[in-house]
Structure 1
Amino acid sequence: MQSGKMLVADHQGTYMIKLIGDVRLTLCNTIDDYIEQMFSADNFAGVTIDLAETLGIDSTSLGLLAKLAIQAKQRGFDRPTILSPNPDITRLLQSMGFAKVFNIYSDEITNAEDLKELPVRCGSETQVRNKVLEAHKVLMGLNEQNRADFHDLVCALETPKASQ
């Protein structure tokens, strides 16, 4: 499966994020850094996430997207939009409770020539662990099924290692 990559663009404060391939933990720092960059922009107006070429997406990446939607709401912006023409990805989004915090459409974007690929930003083991923990806590807040599904993982991540 094609490893994941993230393409982005913005036009006068309206941002586009396109996730391509198999979107996994390796992109968590890249995704989170870009979210922070978007919200720190004075002209932020909204964001659309294009999942048309997403082959798979893990729970950490989903949690970071949910974080984006929650931050937008807290700051008084409209719900972000997700474009998801793949029924399997859309089903996953629905099961995670994304319809509560995103507008989800099956449309595809035909003109994405202004997108540029972001380099993958690696992080330390601690940074990645903290992002995984944060992402799963956000997912747990979306619905009861997520709370049950991710409870053990969150507990394990919150428990310090005996060797530390």
Structure 2
Amino acid sequence: MRYGHHDQLSWLSLDGAVRYTDARRIKCFLDEVVLPQIGDTTVIDLRDVLSVDSTGLGLLAHIGRKCLSQFSRRAVILCPEGPVAQCLRAMQFDKLFTLTDTLDPPAELKIEPVPMNRTPPQGLASVMLGAHRDLCEVDEQNRARFTDVLDVLEREVAKRRS
């Protein structure tokens, strides 16, 4: 994962497989760095992403929802045609984001690797639950797809709290 911020532009680049196993660290970075300084133009670069699971999609949806609520603007997802782009459209991300396959960062933007050594405060089940809730808010079809997942995660989180 790499990140850069300049003026009102935030640029987040992900790579490889974006899976639930990395969700706690990604969520921690989003909460501590990206979301507090998010610009009115936000780009999520998925050109080097091979796959993304539902938890990863939910984390992306969280960014998109934040951009809409804070700036009344859609974040941009940069993603070439292929399986990942098909998945984004299947999850109705074109309702939440502007999807494009061509965009270059400005020359003055420094996009640097993100250290992933911080211990996240939230447990995995809580992060997964929040991500799936955000994913379900994108579209009613997503809510229908993930109702069972939400039920299981809600029970798991409740069990851990008691």
* TM-score greater than 0.5 by the shorter chain: yes
Q: Is the 8 A contact 1:136 1:150 kept in 2?
A: yes
Percent of aligned pairs with the same residue?
29
Q: Is the 8 A contact 2:51 2:83 kept in 1?
A: no
Does the residue aligned with 2:47 lie in a helix, a strand or coil? coil
Structure with greater helix share of residues: 2
CA RMSD of aligned residues (A): 2.5
Number of corresponding residues: 157
CA shift at 1:77, angstroms?
A: 4.1
CA shift at 1:18, angstroms?
A: 0.6
- 2:122 is equivalent to residue 131 of structure 1: no
Structure 2: distance between partners of 1:123 and 1:38: 15
- The correspondence for 1:96, drawn from 78, 83, 91, is 91
Structure 2: distance between partners of 1:26 and 1:114: 27
Q: In the alignment, which residue of structure 2 is the partner of 1:69?
A: 64
CA shift at 1:108, angstroms?
A: 5.2
Structure 2: distance between partners of 1:110 and 1:48: 9
In structure 2, list runs of 5 or more residues that go unmatched: none
Letter in 2 for 1:98: F
TM-score w.r.t. length of structure 2: 0.84
CA shift at 1:86, angstroms?
A: 3.4
- The correspondence for 1:115, drawn from 111, 115, 137, is 111
Q: What are the Cα deviations for residues 83-136 of structure 1, in whole angstroms up to 9, with x where unaligned?
A: 111321111001111111100001153778832111224446x62211100110
Structure 2: distance between partners of 1:158 and 1:39: 25
